Amino acid sequence: MPNQRHYTPADKLLMQVNSALRTLLPFSGSPYRASPAKTYFEGEMSEQEERHVAGLMRINHTGEVCAQALYQGQALTAKLPEVRDAMEKAAQEEIDHLAWCEERVRELGQRPSVLNPLFYGLSFGMGAVAGLISDRLSLGFVAAVEDQVCKHLDEHLKQLPIADEKSRVILEQMRIDEEKHSTTATSAGGLKFPKPIKVGMTLLSKVMTKTTYHI
44 is in an annotated binding site: no
Reply yes or no on whether the pLDDT at 113 is more than 90.
yes
93 is in an annotated binding site: no
178 is in an annotated binding site: yes
- Residue 38 banded pLDDT, cuts 50, 70, 90: very high
User: How does pLDDT run across 139-155, given as a tens digit for each residue?
Assistant: 888 888 888 899 999 99
97 is in an annotated binding site: yes
**Predicted pLDDT of residue 1:** 40
6 is in an annotated binding site: no
Q: Comparing C-alpha atoms, which of 153, 8, 7, 181 is closest to residue 91?
A: 181
**Predicted pLDDT of residue 49:** 97
Cβ neighbours of residue 34 closer than 8 Å, sequence gap 6 or more: none
Q: What is the mean pLDDT of residues 164-192?
A: 91
Q: What is the mean pLDDT of residues 35-58?
A: 95
- Residue 84 banded pLDDT, cuts 50, 70, 90: low
- Residue 136 banded pLDDT, cuts 50, 70, 90: confident
Reply yes or no on whether the pLDDT at 18 is more than 90.
no
**Predicted pLDDT of residue 68:** 85
61 is in an annotated binding site: no
How many other C-beta atoms lie within 10 A of the C-beta of residue 57?
A: 28
For the chain, domains (ranges, CATH) are 45-212 (1.20.1260.10)
Q: What is the mean pLDDT of residues 92-118?
A: 92
Reply yes or no on whether the pLDDT at 205 is more than 90.
no
Reply yes or no on whether the pLDDT at 21 is more than 90.
no
Q: Comparing C-alpha atoms, which of 101, 83, 115, 96 is closest to residue 185?
A: 83
Q: What is the mean pLDDT of the chain?
A: 85
